[in-house]
Amino acid sequence: MVIVGVPGSDSQDSYRNFVAKHRLGDVPQVSNEDGELWGRFGVSSQPRWVLVRADGSIERGGGAPPPDIVRDALVPA
């Protein structure tokens, strides 16, 4: 599993401040200044999570992902 942060559609300085404030520096971040990635995955606000499975299926939700979703994502199919 790879976890990647996708900040909202704002300037890079703004998302860097968000990452620093919430101590997310160990999580790779992908710039999303134009909001395209959020739009593609149906994200409209934070905190949100999107799980893209190896088969291309997508599951999404708000807040922290439920433990069973994380566990299932870590177990090879």
Q: What's the pLDDT tens digit per position in 52-72?
A: 888 888 889 988 888 888 888
Nearest to residue 73, comparing CAs of 60, 46, 62?
Answer: 60
Q: Using CA atoms, how far apart are residues 5 and 24, in angstroms rounded to an integer?
A: 8
One pLDDT digit (tens) per residue for the chain, 77 residues: 788 888 877 788 888 888 899 888 888 888 888 889 888 888 888 888 898 888 888 889 988 888 888 888 887 66
**What is the pLDDT, as a whole number, of residue 77?**
60
How much is the pLDDT for 75? 75
